[in-house]
């Protein structure tokens, strides 16, 4: 029942998003949702229940409503805890819907804060968001983990590890992999792609190399993440390895001034990957590969490359 209710609610939210995209100049839907958002927030004298607050806020924001004070609303939503009206533990579908709406709302609201870089208060909120999301992985229903992951990724890209000594890159990587391990299968490839985009870029690779240069005993969580994905892929699931390699090979190139410098830390890994060859698989048995993805591969990998060596081809292109 919990999964069915959550799926139905996400269907309604998806319909609102479709209406917003289909009628971008319409003022009717935004006006309605602005009023709905105002009612969802309430006031001290007539605040709705936490479940009503987060579900109505998520639907309103997804449909295009713009809060007057985004940061204040973010903090309000983050502090909310599920509480059944009249006391008691409540029912599973209510708790599931609450988690889905809470993290869905925060993922839509916080992304603007991450882009705007609006100052110390916003940065402090993003640090709190990361802490709360990391602590909630086990309690969050599997179908809502994708929204929780988005919050972790937003905070990471905004540089929380650089500002808060209590948040380590290892903690970020562990939180991301915890979500990947617990999510539903339909969300796994999206989460894997976001993990790789967040971690395996030139800026992150250079930062870890600089840390290791300053302290030869410093941890290397990003390099460990690549090795963890290699072990996860093995030779039976090469589609898992193609995503991190497509990202990190671009990251290894670096800028014109530092061409190839980010790859120095990965010399042993590159040598091992040059000898990597996935097991032969029938096309119908390979999961996670779409027609568009195959087209992208055909456009970027040299002609004549063995279909069984796509992962190695990324390294050869680098």
Interval 86-130: pLDDT, tens: 555 558 888 899 999 999 999 999 987 766 555 788 888 999 999
- What CA–CA distances, in Å, run from 41 to 65, 72, 105, 263? 13, 11, 12, 49
Residue 135, pLDDT > 80, answer yes
Q: What is the pLDDT of residues 14-55, one digit of tens each?
A: 999 898 888 888 788 878 888 888 887 765 556 678 888 899
Residue 58, pLDDT > 60, answer yes
Distance CA 107, CA 118 (A): 17
Residue 179, pLDDT > 60, answer yes
Name the phi and psi angles at 166, rounded to 5.
-80, -20
In this prediction, residues 161-190 reach a mean pLDDT of: 87
Which pLDDT belongs to residue 294?
55
Distance CA 115, CA 51 (A): 28
How does residue 131 score in pLDDT terms, banded at 50, 70 and 90? very high
Q: Is 73 helix (H, G, I), strand (E, B) or coil?
A: helix
- Contact between residue 230 and residue 192 where contact means Cβ atoms under 8 Å apart: no
Tokens representing 248 are 């990190």
Which pLDDT belongs to residue 240?
87
Tokens representing 148 are 């929780």
Residue 180, pLDDT > 90, answer yes
Which pLDDT belongs to residue 306?
54
- Contact between residue 77 and residue 106 where contact means Cβ atoms under 8 Å apart: yes
Burial class of residue 128 (count of CB atoms within 10 Å of its CB; 0-12, 13-18, 19+) = middle
Distance CA 183, CA 204 (A): 25
Q: Which residues contact 79 (CB under 8 A, 6 or more apart)?
A: none
- What CA–CA distances, in Å, run from 126 to 68, 99, 190? 19, 18, 22
Q: Is 298 helix (H, G, I), strand (E, B) or coil?
A: helix
Q: Sign of torsion, CA 238 243 246 248?
A: negative
Domain regions of the chain by residue span: 29-199, 200-318
Which pLDDT belongs to residue 87?
54
Which pLDDT belongs to residue 148?
94
Which pLDDT belongs to residue 119?
78
What is the chain's mean pLDDT, rounded? 83
Whether this model's pTM surpasses 0.75: yes
């Amino acid at each position: 029942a919990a999964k069915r209710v959550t799926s139905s609610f996400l269907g309604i939210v998806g319909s609102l998003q479709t209406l917003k995209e289909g009628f971008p100049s319409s003022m009717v839907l935004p006006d309605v949702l602005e009023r709905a958002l105002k009612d969802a927030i309430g006031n001290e004298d007539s605040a709705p229940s936490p479940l009503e607050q987060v579900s109505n806020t998520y639907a309103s924001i997804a449909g295009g409503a713009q809060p007057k004070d985004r940061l204040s609303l973010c903090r309000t939503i983050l502090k909310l805890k599920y509480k059944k009206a009249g006391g008691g533990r409540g029912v599973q579908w209510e708790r599931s819907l609450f988690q889905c709406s809470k993290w869905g709302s925060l993922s839509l609201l916080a992304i603007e804060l991450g882009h705007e870089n609006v100052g110390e208060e916003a940065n402090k909120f993003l640090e709190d968001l990361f802490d709360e999301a990391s602590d909630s992985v086990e309690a969050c229903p599997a179908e809502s983990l994708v929204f929780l992951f988005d919050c972790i990724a937003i905070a990471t890209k905004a540089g929380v590890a650089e500002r808060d000594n209590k948040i380590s890159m290892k903690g970020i990587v562990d939180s991301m992999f915890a979500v990947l391990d617990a999510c539903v299968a339909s969300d796994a490839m999206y989460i894997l792609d976001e993990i790789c985009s967040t971690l395996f870029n030139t800026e992150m690779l250079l930062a870890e190399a600089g840390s290791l240069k300053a302290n030869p005993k410093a941890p290397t969580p990003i390099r460990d993440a690549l090795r963890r994905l290699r072990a996860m892929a093995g030779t039976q699931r090469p589609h898992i390895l193609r995503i991190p390699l497509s990202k990190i090979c671009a990251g290894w190139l670096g800028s014109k001034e530092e061409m190839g410098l980010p790859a120095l830390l990965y010399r042993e890994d590159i040598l091992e990957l040059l000898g990597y060859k996935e097991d032969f698989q029938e096309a119908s048995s390979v999961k996670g590969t779409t027609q568009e993805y195959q087209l992208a591969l055909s456009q970027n990998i040299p002609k004549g490359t063995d279909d069984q060596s796509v992962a190695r081809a990324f390294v050869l292109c680098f």
